[in-house]
């Protein structure tokens, strides 16, 4: 069907969502839910897993970007790794094998007994298809949260101040 450039087409509804003032009836809601379930049932298992992996990625990005995180809300590398593993149906031992390490070594990194490093970040990045900088940003954010929680460290480093040097000169 061809439409002339000067004519306006008025035979379709451009409503995007109920937030624009349009109220859906129970029948419309039921129809939309039915349609969504039908589309969901047609997704392949691979697509469902990919969507779940993307959901975890988005949580990571939101965590890194959120400036209001407090100690109780902190998400660790381990939290994200275990969430990814649960999506994939992997246990820690099996996952450690895929990373060419043993589970006790992996646990030490994930629990913070060993420093998170670029080698592990690269492995996680490649395995989960998540940018390496995002893994490093999560770790850096957690280090900064921990630093701010330790008031003694702030006092310890207060002596490093260029203004004190200027006063002595």
134 falls in which pLDDT band (50, 70, 90)? very high
Give the integer Cα–Cα distance in Å for 95 and 87: 12
Name the CATH code of domain 45-156 (choices 1.10.3720.10, 3.90.1150.10, 1.10.260.40, 1.10.30.50). 1.10.260.40
Average pLDDT for the chain: 84
Tokens in use for 1? 């069907």
Residue-wise pLDDT for 146-160, tens only, equals: 877 776 666 777 788
Enumerate residues 6+ apart whose C-beta is below 8 A from 146. 71
For 38-60, what is the mean pLDDT?
Answer: 90
Top pLDDT among 153 and 164 is at 164
Predicted local confidence at residue 144, as pLDDT: 85
Nearest to 112 by CA among 81, 148, 67: 81
Residue-wise pLDDT for 88-100, tens only, equals: 999 999 999 999 9
């Amino acid at each position: 069907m061809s439409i002339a450039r000067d004519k306006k087409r008025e035979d379709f509804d451009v409503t995007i969502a109920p937030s624009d003032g349009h109220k859906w009836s129970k029948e419309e809601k039921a129809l939309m839910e039915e349609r969504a379930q039908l589309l969901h049932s047609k997704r392949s298992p691979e697509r469902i897993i990919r969507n779940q992996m993307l959901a975890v990625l988005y949580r990571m990005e939101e965590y890194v970007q959120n400036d209001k995180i407090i100690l109780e809300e902190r998400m660790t590398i381990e939290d994200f790794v275990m969430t990814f593993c649960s999506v994939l149906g992997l246990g820690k031992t099996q996952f450690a094998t895929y990373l060419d390490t043993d589970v006790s070594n992996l646990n030490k990194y994930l629990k913070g007994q060993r420093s998170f490093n670029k080698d592990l970040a690269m492995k996680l990045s490649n395995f989960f298809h998540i940018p390496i900088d995002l893994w490093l940003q999560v770790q850096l954010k957690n280090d900064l949260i921990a630093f701010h929680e330790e008031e003694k460290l702030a006092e310890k480093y207060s002596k490093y101040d260029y203004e004190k040097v200027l006063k002595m000169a």
